[in-house]
Structure 1
Amino acid sequence: MSALLSRPEAAPASGHQQGTEPAPGGERQPANLAVAGAGALAVLLCSLSVHGVIEGWSWLPPLFFAVLVPLAATAGARRLKVPQPLVPVAGMAVLACTLTWLFASSASFLGFLPGPGTLARADALLSEARTVVLTEVTPVQPLPGILFLCCTGIGLVAVLTDTLAATLRMPATAGLGLFAVLMIPAVLKPESLGAGYFFLAAVGYLLLLAVGARREQHGSRTPRTWLARGTAVSASALALALLLPPVLPGFDGGAFPEGTRFNFFSGSTGLNPIVTLGNDLRQPQSAGRITYATSSVEPLYLRSTTLEDFSGSRWAPDVREEERREGVATMSGGTYPLPRGSRAETVVTRISSDTYSSPWLLAPYYPLGVTGAEGSWSWDPKTMTVLDGDSDGAARQDYQVLSAAAEFTPEQLAAIPEADSTSLDPVFTDLPADLPENIRDAAADAVGDAATPYAKAMAIQSYLRGPQFSYSLQAPVEGGYDGNGISVLSEFLERKAGYCVHFAAAMAVMARQEGIPSRMALGYAPGEGTGETPDGTGPDGEPLREFVVDSTDAHAWPELYFEGAGWVRFEPTPSRGSVPAYAQQQRTPGSAPLHDDDDPRVPDALATAPAVPQEEAPLAPETVLESDTGTTAWLVALLGTLAAAAAVLMPWAMRGRRAARRRKAAADDSRSGPVWDEIADLGIDYGYPGRTSDTPRTYARRLAAEGGFSPQAEEALTRIRVSFEEEAYAGAGRGGRRAAPTWADLETVEQELRSGTSLFGRLHARFLPPSLALRFRHD
């Protein structure tokens, strides 16, 4: 169809037609070095956004090798005319050798060829990376396992991008790999991707498109019309992507909306400690439904794991593999230590979920035994956490936990003296030597003249639940302290706004500063009752009551150690969870008001709050006023309508613009080529595409016959065809050349095509013209 669709710029001497491969040694080099180089640069520019997911820049040099060396191999393979399917194979083979040299040279032949020990080394590195992903927050430390995972993933993306852009010559499709790289920081970084990194990635992709398009033009200069059009579209899209998010509701930073960013794990919401807790809470919709039926009179906290090492710059659970014990059917000998005069209630809890997936098993504290859970579970006698050492935990679980719920009174806890420092592992009492001064001052101010461990704990809890602190999911993100570590905690105590992770960590560290052993628990707050009474009974024949929790109930709380009583839960986070009876603050006349326990995310919570004077009633930071909700919904609906209209009208506008340029070119230069091009596109739009073997004459005859043209329309088509043939093959400027056909002839043909097509066909040709997708060429 090349004779039909492309008019020759000059008389063809060699018989080559547009779309055929040039001869070897022509302008398009077999190695396609320009496109390969643009692809490598695009991948590296996108990879810069990984900064902030991995700490520092030490990951960048090995990544350069993992990207550039394999792409040099693919370019060499193309230069040597290796069969096309083997080019990406060569790239992946060289990538494997490069990774071996970087991370497993001691277990390889000649330092770079994979050997028997290479796979074992790779497995160890991936295991290390898995542990880091599960237990650390971003930015993670640049450990060898993380660097290996980063170089392997982005190296494979580089080979994929090179295959699509340089080997298969589909540079636009190569953007899929670049998008995959960008999704890493978009999902994992608290502030999302960021405008700067998005801009660099966009520049890399546009450069790849430009170089790819230039190569498809056989190395000729890029037409000014194409360059202007591409620049306008690209600049408009980039400007909208950078300027629109700040003015739209829900977009607080980055290239993706904070709190509404795409979540890969919406179907499987395993609680990776701290890493996903803030994102889970900021999800606009709940996910990961978990139900539990319990014989307990009160709803339960479901604990996943604990954090106790606060000495480093970041906090994570300690697996303590050497101390774990196998077999969870009976734990701790089935007993629970209690202070004198107190008692413990034995509780049966059945937990079920189709979506929760985590190596840590949810269980009420203090677990005495677990039955029915699928996995290779072990338990830690120091923390009573249950861990699956072989996998991330099955998503579908239905198991039963027997636990002991201790009942304390304020008087019993108040009578307990300070714990013996030698009775516990130092990990529960250690603090960094360089503890920030504002943390020490906050602890001293909160405790005041309290003397006993219980009095100090209550004073710290009251301080954090006081009116000077506020619960906020967005303040830590906006302030840049959404994470964990001593520096984050110091910033939180200055800003006095955060969510459960910050409040729980603050109480745990301040308690240690005052001599009370502590740790931070992670899991789920009690959730809501469903009103159902599933089959089964408790230890004394009492019925089970069902509750449900989801991602919005993800929670963190401190546990403090009291000699003889064990680990005791407190609740310093205002407006979240429930304060135990033994930890409830008694209000006295004239005392400062404390935060109530209502959840600020639930609109009805304010209606049930204790009455306070109107002028003193604080507005919860997370409360959304009804008028704001209505305005936001209206604005979102309007923007959605405009976006849909733009999507429908854009192809129509682009097609109309192309026709207008052709009409102007035909009028200015008295040429028939633009008119014939428009005929060819109209045939495609209305379902009469040309064939590869068509000449203008055969196509015109078939179009008139299949379209059922009237004599008038057939004469107009003939005039256009004859004039185009004379111009294309007889040469411009020769004597006796016919006058160029008028645009009115084309409109006659278009009207004939339109009248012979159904309504659906006419709408399709107008608003989704196939010629746009099938034929992008310069005019």
Structure 2
Amino acid sequence: MDCRRRSPGPAGTGCVVAPGRGPAGRPLRRGAGMSALLTRPGTRSGPSRSAQQPEPASGGRRGAANVAVGAASALAVLLCSLSVHGVIEGWSWLPRLLFAVLVPLAATAGARRLGLPQPLVPVVGTAVLICTLAWLFAASSSILGFLPGPGTVARAEALLSEAHAVVLTEVTPVQPLPGILFLCCAGIGLVAVLTDTLAATLRMPATAGLGLFAVLMIPAVLKPESLGTGYFLLAAAGYLVLLAVGARREQQGPGARVSGPWLARAAAVCAPSLVLAVLLPSVLPGFTGGAFPEGARFSFLSGGTGLNPVVSLGNDLRQPGSAGRITYATSSTEPVYLRSTTLEDFSGSRWAPDTRADERREGISTMPQDPSASGRGQGTPVVTRISSRTYSSPWLLAPYYPVGVTGADGNWSWDPKTMTVLSNDAGGDVKQDYQVQSVSPQLTPEQLAGLPQAAPNSVDAVFTELPDDLPGNIRDAAAEAVKGVSSPYDKAMAIQSYLRGPAFSYSLEAPVQGGYDGNGMSVLSEFLERKAGYCVHFAAAMAVMAREEGIPSRMALGYAPGQRTGRTTEGTGPNGEPLREYEVDSTDAHAWPELYFEGAGWIRFEPTPSRGSVPEYARQQTAAPAETPIRDDDDPRIPGPPVTAPAVPQEPPLEPETVLEPSDTPETAWLGALLAVLAAAGAVMTPWAMRRRRAVRRRHAAADGRAGPVWDELADLGIDYGYPGRTSDTPRSYAGRLIQEAGLSPGAEEALTRIRNSFEVEAYAGVGSGSGGGGVGGVGPGSGAASSWADLETVQEDLRRGTGLLGRIHARFLPPSLAMRFRHD
């Protein structure tokens, strides 16, 4: 080995390369520093890590576009966005979304290529996103068809207003209206720019997963079946590709391709987590499908836990626990239903509340204070005080028929045809304490039985219309139910008895498993075939069957009576009656039909078995002389006066608690606990196993006499025990600092010196101890490997003894060297 180009080093250390020279005497680039010295030759095919760092943009110098990571970011966002299918009906939203994601990310790649300062790159992407949205949704009102102007802003406000109305009034999947598409493209486009900024511009691909998670939360919260395993795996695949491409970019530099081993390693790391995420929901209580628990929804759009029409009522009922406590105190002797809104238009493929803006009147103070205005002059005045700290909805809860509301904060309007009260603000106030004056009907079966068929012009046509393509099995079911009866009341009672009969059963899970959860004529048709569902299905069935038989109808949404709290307020009713207090929550969310009778108005029926309470006028009398009375308060959730058993035999009532929570058998509990323990053990042992595998590979690599693997392991041990290298470190300076900061013993210091000398000879002179070259620094051919690894173990033991218990645990089970080798500027 020619040492004429080398300068003599300190005694006992051989010779070192002169400044500016690299391995085997080759020149070192400026700034290579420790990255070249701490990485053994031949281990990486690309340039050194320091050489990969983008140079600051100055003097017109171009930077790296980082196209591969940008493309991986776009792919990850688009794969996550596929799960929006089912929140928005059909796939017509996807082409526009492709433009909203790909065009801005192409712009950010161009900005990086031009060498713009990092803070300006996301600004460019956002600006291009705005222009893209203007071209997609407001081309006619934009300058040159894509530059925002005053008309563009007005158009955006109109689109957002439309999206707001859909969010508040429709159930999923919502129609792909322009406002919804604009909101979807704008939101996911911003997530794409954020993901690209974190992964490609700031080179933090792991952190970019936060934006992807935000996209996944949209279907996870709103879709009745949650995210679903398929979409979850697609999103995981996108994130995995993003991590792999980002890691390869950091390791190999610009333009490098992601190799199979890198993807395999990333898959090996992520596979256990994916398997657990898919399998755990099947054994843990409350998780009945998908990658998230069905029914355990958080109503982010409403700001609280109120009954929001965007979220299917079935989701509220399927929640593992109750939420959104509401208390009310009423003077009524019968339990009252808290009515939120109504569904009356059954013509579409899906049904949603109609705000009926043209019919509404402003201000709750304008509501009729005279009970006779309700058409229920024979009714009983009722006072109900309602209090909530968590309920949030644009619809105000009130017993039917409300004639006055006092104390409600906000700006409200009301519909004289449906008597629903709607907020004119962005949404109802979460905290409300108000009082409702209403009229309770005093009706008897005999009175209703004598009422004639309603005249065609008694109500608006929307309360009687049915689509022309009404499924035949719905017509057949209505005809079967009313066979042998003729009066409107008898028909209504026959339909109620038919649905409460033994052929039908209450089930929250059957519609989900059968694929007919939700509403619409196709859903209703499937329900009448399967004969299993929950209140939405029963209420819709009675409303549609009643219309088929000529009875105007609608479906109400709100809350069943709930349960007594035991508290009363004396002497505050209309005639000094006490107010009895009840409480309801998300598990009391309910739907029921309201039918119109000439001379009596709209009255409630209860076709859902085991839920709610059947009103006195709708209870079927039996001919048996000795009846067994059934009390509503036999069900602890449904208080009330004695109720006579219906004539039609029914299945035993289902306790709401049994219906609302999936069974938790001992087998599933033990299996869930076992999987949880295995998951925790895997989370703890995986980093340890990966670090150990790396050390074993290096030991095998060092068996042929190479010193580089030994030095690499020493550098990682320094990171694990809290002594990482610095940007300016050379092997000699790092070894000296490690001896001083770690307080190594003389024996460990000598071992570290031998490791350093061996590495310097191999790194700078291109001579390995097993290469046949002369020994340097006491390291000779054939013997250096064994002694060097033994020296490494000596240094490791000294580092372990000098570290506290928590530090040793951290170094063993959460080794920082897995995530970071040495960071360089």
Please say whether Structure 1 and Structure 2 have the same fold, judged by a TM-score greater than 0.5: yes
Pick from 750, 768, 772: which aligns with 2:814?
A: 768
Distance 2:45 2:381 in 1: 92
Distance 1:615 1:370 in 2: 39
1:749 equivalent to 2:785? Answer no
After TM superposition, the structure 1 stretch with the greater mean CA deviation from structure 2, 489-498 or 405-414, is: 405-414
Is 1:735 matched up with 2:768?
no
Matched, 1:558 2:558: no
* TM-fit CA distance, 1:603: 13
SS at match of 1:303: strand
Matching residue of 1:576: 611
How far apart in 1 are the matches of 2:187 and 2:462?
Answer: 36
**Corresponding letter in the other structure for 2:343:** L
Bigger mean CA deviation after superposition, 494-503 or 688-697: 688-697
Which residue does 1:192 correspond to in 2? 226
Partners of 2:245 and 2:258 within 8 A in 1:
no
User: What secondary structure does 2:358 align onto?
Assistant: helix
Return the alpha-carbon distance in structure 1 between the equivalents of residues 96 and 331 of structure 2. 56
Corresponding position of 1:481? 516
- Which of these residues, 316, 320, 327, is aligned with residue 352 of structure 2? 316
Q: Which amino acid aligns with 1:648?
A: V
Contact map agreement 1:579 1:597 (CA 8 A) in 2? no
Contact 1:470–1:621, Cα closer than 8 Å, also in 2: no
Q: Answer whether contact 2:283 2:668 (CA < 8 A) is retained.
A: no
- The amino acid that maps onto 2:814 is L
Match for 2:801: what amino acid?
A: S
For 1:167-186, list aligned pairs within 5 A: 167-186=201-220
Please list every run of 5 or more consecutive structure 2 residues that lacks an aligned counterpart in the other structure.
1-33
User: Deviations along 1:553-602, whole A, 9 cap, x unmatched?
Assistant: 11100011111111101111111111111111223559999999689997
**How many Å separate the matches in 2 of 1:620 and 1:404?**
31
Superposed, 1:243-262 pairs within 5 Å as 245-246=281-282, 250-260=286-296
Alignment of 1:371-450 (within 5 A): 371-450=406-485
**2:286–2:320: 8 Å Cα contact kept in structure 1?**
no
Contact persistence 2:35–2:48 (CA under 8 A): no
Separation in structure 2 between the aligned mates of residue 85 and residue 92 of structure 1, nearest angstrom: 12
Moved more, 454-463 or 656-665: 656-665
SS of structure 2 residue aligned to 1:766:
helix
Show the counterpart of 1:759.
805
State the one-letter code of the partner of 2:811: A
Pair 1:123 & 2:157 matched: yes
Structure 1 residues 754 and 306, CA gap change in structure 2 (3 angstroms) = same
Deviation at 1:484, TM superposition (A): 1.0
Instruction: Give per-residue Cα distances to partners, 1:705-748, cap 9 Å, x unaligned.
Output: 33232222222222112111111112134433422333222222
Taking a change above 3 Å as real, the CA distance of residues 75 and 392 of structure 1, as seen in their structure-2 partners, is same
Amino acid at match of 1:752: D
Distance, in Å, in 1 between the alignment partners of 2:697 and 2:258 is 18
d(CA) in 1 for partners of 2:455, 2:43:
96
Q: TM-score, normalised by structure 2?
A: 0.86
Aligned counterparts of 1:103 and 1:172: Cα–Cα separation in 2: 33
Corresponding position: 1:644 with 2:677: no
Decide whether the 8 Å contact of 1:307 with 1:521 is kept in 2: yes
Distance 1:13 1:635 in 2: 48
- Structure 1 position 249, deviation (Å): 5.1
In 1, distance between residues paired with 2:584 and 2:210?
36
**How far does residue 775 in structure 1 lie from its aligned partner after superposition?**
2.7
**TM-score (norm: length of structure 1):** 0.91
Unmatched 5+ stretches in structure 1: none
SS at match of 2:735: helix
Q: Distance in 2 between matches of 1:542 and 1:282?
A: 37
Once the two structures are TM-superposed, the CA of residue 464 in structure 1 deviates from its matched residue by 0.5
Is 1:203 aligned to 2:237, yes or no? yes
The alpha-carbon distance between structure 1 residues 597 and 347, as it changes in their structure 2 partners (threshold 3 A), is closer
Paired residue type of 1:538? G
Q: Which amino acid aligns with 1:77?
A: A
Q: Is the 8 A contact 2:627 2:645 kept in 1?
A: no
1:6 maps onto 2:45 in alignment: no
Q: How far apart are the structure 2 equivalents of 1:228 and 1:234?
A: 10
Gap change, CA 1:615 and 1:512, over 3 Å in 2: closer
Residues 1:15 and 1:413: Cα distance change in structure 2 (over 3 Å): closer
The answer as to whether partners of 2:724 and 2:822 remain within 8 angstroms in 1 is no
Asked if 1 retains the 8 angstrom alpha-carbon contact of 2:685 and 2:813, the reply is yes
| 2-structure distance, mates of 1:283, 1:15 | 54
Once the two structures are TM-superposed, the CA of residue 530 in structure 1 deviates from its matched residue by 1.3
Residue 742 (structure 2) aligns with: 707
Q: How is 1:686-705 mapped onto 2 (pairs within 5 angstroms)?
A: 686-705=721-740
Contact 1:575-1:599 at 8 Å conserved across structures:
no
- Corresponding position of 2:505: 470
Matches within 5 A, 1:61-460: 61-216=95-250, 217-218=252-253, 219-220=255-256, 226-242=262-278, 245-246=281-282, 250-260=286-296, 264=300, 268-273=304-309, 275-336=311-372, 343-460=378-495
CA displacement 1:600-645 (0-9 Å, x = unmatched): 99799xxx99999x99868779847998444433333332222222
How many residue pairs get aligned? The number is 770
**CA distance 1:515–1:397, shift in 2 (3 Å):** same
Map 1:501-520; keep pairs closer than 5 Å: 501-520=536-555
2:280 and 2:672 in contact (8 A); partners too: no
For residues 198 and 533 of structure 1, the distance between their equivalents in structure 2, rounded to whole angstroms, comes to 50
Asked whether the equivalents of residues 330 and 368 of structure 1 are also in contact (C-alpha less than 8 Å), the reply is no
Q: Which amino acid aligns with 1:6?
A: T
Retained in 1: the 8 A contact 2:86–2:223?
A: yes
| Alpha-carbon shift at residue 395 of structure 1 (Å) | 0.9
Deviation sequence 1:513-567 (CA, Å, 0-9, x none): 1111111000011111112235871112222222111111111000111111111
Structure 2 counterparts to residues 551-700 of structure 1, below 5 A: 551-588=586-623, 623=658, 628-667=664-703, 669-700=704-735
Secondary structure in structure 2 of the residue aligned to 1:762? helix
- For the residue of structure 1 that corresponds to 2:323, the secondary structure is coil
Give the superposition deviation at 1:334.
2.1
Deviation at 1:370, TM superposition (A): 0.7
Task: Assess, with a 3 A threshold, how the Cα gap between structure 1 residues 134 and 263 changes in structure 2: closer, same or farther.
Answer: closer
Q: Residues 745 and 592 from structure 1, CA distance in 2 versus in 1: closer, same or farther, beyond 3 angstroms?
A: farther
Matches of 2:607 and 2:628 in 1, distance apart? 14
On the 8 A contact 1:417/1:563 being kept in 2, the answer is yes
Structure 1 residues 384 and 47, CA, compared in 2 at 3 Å: closer, same or farther? same
Q: In 2, Cα distance between the equivalents of 1:599 and 1:183?
A: 40
**Pairwise CA RMSD:** 3.4
Does the CA contact (< 8 Å) of 1:575 and 1:598 recur in 2? no
Residue-by-residue CA offset, 1:241-283 (whole Å, 9 max, x unaligned): 4455446554443322323466647971222237331111111
Could you tell me how far apart the structure 2 residues matched to 1:397 and 1:662 are? Answer: 67
How far apart are the structure 1 equivalents of 2:164 and 2:46? Answer: 62
SS at match of 1:349: strand
Q: What secondary structure is seen at the aligned counterpart in 2 of 1:407?
A: coil
Identity %: 74
Kindly provide the amino acid, as one letter, of the partner of residue 647 in structure 1: A
The 2-side partners of 1:12 and 1:516 are apart by: 80
CA distance, structure 2, for counterparts of residue 599 and residue 223 of structure 1: 67
Q: 1:246 and 1:29, CA in 2 relative to 1: closer, same or farther beyond 3 A?
A: farther
CA distance 1:497–1:10, change in 2 (3 Å): closer
Residues 745 and 610 of structure 1: CA distance in aligned 2, closer, same or farther (over 3 Å): farther
Give the number of the structure whose alpha-carbon radius of gyration is greater: 2
Letter in 2 for 1:394: D
Amino acid at match of 1:194: G
Alignment CA distance shift 1:263-1:351 (3 Å):
closer
